[in-house]
């Protein structure tokens, strides 16, 4: 078996992927044609050029433009099912999809209708594509207290059936201080039984990772790649085995890492840290979850290492215990080349 065939056959779990960012080119074209005049290209060639980013703020502007296409609950369901279709083709069985309720609220979508769309799409994802879909509600950090309040309100009062986590994303440098609405929102979400899965250390330094650990009770961290700049933080992450959801291609495309060859994934593993492998916003970065495993192999990881990353994702997920055991057994049964 070649390494590519092994990766294709490896059962996978996606723990860090965003609803809007998961929209494949055909899905975005469907939405842009459904909602003309949005400024998002309606031809494939122009859309692929639209997805060429100069830095993270540029990526954020493009992301917001695509997000503005999501105007109705039907659009939300279209995105979820598009992701399920794409993941199924990669032998991915489960995903924790990051949804931003604030973005839907400012488009005028009622919470109940968004939740109904998410619930219906989760059912269809499982029945039509064999992909179990769970949700994480995330706060776009740069929008501050209002975004935190709306996200928490939706999570507590109109949650989808498979809501498992509460997150924080957006441009890290533009987040307000953590001693206010974010801490309060995460405390309330954790009290309600949701897991804390904020972004940290993607485009800022170790201080942001410490903030999400100490201020938000992080149980898993989105990205976290800049932890390597702080030896004390590395030691803490090694001791606690707090998972880092790492997305190599994303980090290069948004300018956080200069070249894929320089990505810190191998060093994170060499330091004994707990890493999962993910795609973040795959069509926007011209990647897939399977491709991220191929990138990891190109960075020097062998089939045994890739198998362990697949196990890590299962164990770090919030899927049911019996489902974890079944999936782990399937991963362990796959012979390595």
Catalytic (active-site) positions:
202
Tokens of 333: 């049964």
CB 211 within 8 A of CB 247: no
Q: State the pLDDT at residue 178.
A: 64
* Residue 69 in this model has a pLDDT that exceeds 70: yes
| Residue 37 pLDDT class (50, 70, 90 cuts) | confident
pLDDT in tens, 243-284: 999 999 999 988 899 999 999 999 999 999 999 999 999 988
| 3-class DSSP state of 98 | strand
Domain coordinates in residue numbering, the chain: 3-323
135-162: pLDDT as tens digits: 999 999 999 999 999 999 999 999 999 9
How many CB atoms sit inside 10 A of residue 71's CB?
A: 17
> How confident is the model over 76-113, as pLDDT tens digits?
999 999 999 999 999 999 999 999 999 999 989 999 99
Query: Is 56:318 a contact under the CB 8 Å cutoff?
Result: no
Residue 204's CB is within 10 A of a number of other CB atoms, namely: 17
Is residue 179's pLDDT more than 80? no
Structure tokens at 16: 């860090």
* Residue 41 in this model has a pLDDT that exceeds 90: no
Strands (E), 91-194: 92-99, 132-140, 163-169
Q: Does domain 3-323 have CATH number 3.30.390.10?
A: no
Confidence band of 12 (pLDDT split at 50, 70, 90): very high
- Four-point Cα dihedral 262, 268, 269, 271, nearest 10: 120
CA distance 214 to 170: 19
Provide the pLDDT confidence category of residue 302 given band limits of 50, 70 and 90: very high
Is the whole model's pTM more than 0.85, yes or no? yes
What does the pLDDT average to over 5-28? 93
What does the pLDDT average to over 303-313?
Answer: 98
Residue 204: pLDDT over 70: yes
Q: Tokens for 243, please give them.
A: 């998972």
CB 278 within 8 A of CB 15: yes
- Beta strand ranges found along 100-239 (DSSP E): 132-140, 163-169, 195-196, 199-200, 221-223
DSSP string, 151-172: HHHHHHHS--TTEEEEEEES-G
Of 29-33, 166-170, 259-263, 278-282, least confident by mean pLDDT is: 29-33
């Amino acid at each position: 078996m070649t390494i590519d065939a092994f990766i294709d056959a490896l059962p996978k779990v996606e723990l860090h992927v965003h609803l809007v960012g998961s929209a494949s080119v055909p899905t975005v074209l469907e939405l842009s044609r459904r909602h003309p005049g949005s400024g998002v290209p309606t031809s494939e060639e122009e859309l692929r050029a639209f997805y060429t980013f100069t830095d993270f703020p540029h990526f954020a502007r493009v992301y917001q433009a695509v997000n503005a296409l999501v105007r109705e609950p039907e659009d939300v369901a279209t995105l979820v099912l598009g992701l399920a279709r794409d993941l199924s083709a990669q032998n991915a069985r489960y995903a924790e999809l990051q949804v931003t309720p604030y973005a839907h609220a400012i488009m005028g979508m009622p919470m109940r209708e968004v939740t109904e769309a998410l619930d219906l799409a989760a059912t269809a994802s499982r029945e039509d594509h064999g992909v179990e879909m769970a949700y994480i509600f995330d706060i776009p950090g740069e929008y501050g207290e209002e975004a935190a309040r709306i996200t928490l309100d939706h999570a507590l009062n109109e949650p989808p059936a498979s809501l498992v986590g509460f997150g924080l994303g957006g441009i890290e440098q533009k987040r307000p201080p953590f001693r206010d609405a974010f801490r309060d929102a995460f405390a309330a979400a954790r009290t309600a039984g949701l897991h804390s899965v904020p972004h940290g250390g993607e485009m800022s330094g170790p201080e942001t990772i410490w903030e999400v650990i100490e201020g938000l009770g992080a149980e898993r961290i989105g990205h976290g790649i800049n932890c390597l700049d702080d030896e004390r933080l590395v030691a803490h992450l090694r001791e606690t085995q707090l998972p880092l959801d790492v997305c190599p291609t994303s980090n290069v495309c948004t300018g956080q890492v200069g070249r894929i060859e320089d990505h810190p994934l191998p060093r994170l593993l060499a330091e004994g840290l707990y890493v999962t492998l993910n795609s973040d916003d795959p069509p926007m970065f011209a990647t897939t979850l399977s491709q991220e495993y191929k990138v990891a192999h190109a960075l020097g990881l062998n089939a045994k290492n890739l198998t362990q990353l697949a196990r890590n994702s299962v164990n770090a997920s919030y899927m049911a215990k019996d489902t974890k055991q079944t999936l782990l057994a399937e991963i362990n049964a796959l012979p390595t080349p």
